[in-house]
Chain A
Amino acid sequence: MDHRHAIETLALERYLLGEMAEQERDAFEEHFFSCIECAEDARAAGTMRDAVTSGLAGTPKQTSTKVVPMPAPRRRIASIVVPWAAAASLALVAGYQGLVLRQGQKQLAALIVLSPVTLRPASRGQEPVVFATAGAVLTLAVDLGGGVINGDVEYEIRHADGSAIASDRVPAPKDGAPLLLLVPSSLFQSGQHYVLLVKNSGNASLTPADYRFTVGAR
């Protein structure tokens, strides 16, 4: 591939969009490793893509909740049609729910595999790096030390500067199991350090435990 052909066919754009066959992709790579002009364009494009992938161009806008005003109820008109229509509607709804439920059960029957990253208290070992895939969830397995914990535990995920991004109070896992957190990866930014604080008022050895981790760019 020569420079003119690469420019005229928008080769870099097709490369970024994954539209090239293997042979053409190899030829284009061979070209941009040797052509300074295309190499600079490719480096800029790579920087841009990596930055967008790690969330630097912002995350998708949240859909706002709309409040739909309900129409005022109409005056009831006595009719023999109404009970029959209501019965038909009920049958329709029941049938639909049955269908949805069966589909739902079918979905739940499928195996879901999670690959959690184990977090241990900050004082033990090196700070782990976890990788967040855009649009996915990050599965964190929080090692609570294996002891028996009664009641609830409180957790809070914070930025390194102390600002909180998520928190809740949840029942403690049983029998020394880790606390599993499925966190949307959109809450994290790659390259940033985070702290997870866990508290349980009934367990002095756990209170407060902090778990540090870094989110890496994938």
Chain B
Amino acid sequence: MVAVAQSRVLRYRPLARLPFHEFDKAYVDRLVAGDPETERHFTRYFGDLMTLKLRSRLRSPAAIEDAKQETFVRVLTSLKRKRSLATPETLGAFVNSTCNNVVFELYRSGSRTTALPDEYDEADDRRPAVDSTMLADEQRGMVKAALDGLPEKDRELLRWLFYEERDKDEICRELNVDRGYLRVLLHRAKARFRERFTDQTTG
């Protein structure tokens, strides 16, 4: 029996006009070489994942953005210093563990200073670059169109969960479902959103 080493082919439907990339040696090499397109893909792809992850850990958008930027700097610096990654397919795990370290350090530094109140609204003087604003506007339009295309019941459920942040048990009582079925309803709404959003971005 001959063991055939299969290269890990990573297939996925592109989201928000993100071109297809494999996390293989060539990808890491392009990152090390500073290829702009690969860097753009890297920061956007992992930036989205980190935003999702950091939402539950850091309160302010500015702190989330800082943690993301610090993670990118550390990962890219490390890759460029070592000129490669021993196992390129573990790039995602490497980014995640670096992000964990950054968050841990933020917590530690935060505990040595006086915490601001939870509801503190600090004016964020930083402004996005013009091209990123245009991209954000473009994406915002596509996201809105995808949401508008959802059945009203889906939109209402999403509003209750994420806009009004209503108590989940209360939502279950109102819909006469249990928590398990609430997950199913969210799963269906998310799947329908993803289908419409992908159509927008690829169509």
With A18-B56, A44-B190, A45-B52 as contacts: A217 and B61 at CB distance below 8 Å: yes
With A48-B193, A52-B163, A113-B117 as contacts: A16 and B186 at CB distance below 8 Å: yes
**Is the C-beta of B159 less than 8 angstroms from some C-beta in chain A?**
yes
With A47-B16, A128-B125, A217-B61 as contacts: A53 and B48 at CB distance below 8 Å: no
Contacting residues of chain A (17-57) with chain B, CB-CB under 8 angstroms: 17-19, 25-26, 29-30, 32-37, 39-53, 55-57
A115 to B184, CA, bound (A): 39
Contact of A30 among B93, B120, B124 (CB under 8 A): B93
Contacts of B61 in A (CB 8 A): 131, 216-218
A77: min CB distance to chain B, Å: 45
Chain B residue at minimum C-beta to C-beta distance from A130: B121
Contacts of B10 in A (CB 8 A): 36
Contact of B147 among A10, A30, A51, A136 (CB under 8 A): A51
A45 to B186, CA, bound (A): 10
The size of the chain B interface, using a CB distance under 8 A, is 61
> Which residues of B pack against A, CB within 8 Å?
10-13, 15-16, 23, 45-46, 48-49, 51-53, 55-56, 60-61, 89-90, 92-93, 95-96, 100, 117, 119-121, 123-125, 127, 136-137, 140, 143-144, 146-147, 150, 155, 158-159, 161-165, 168, 179, 182-184, 186-187, 190, 193-194, 197-198
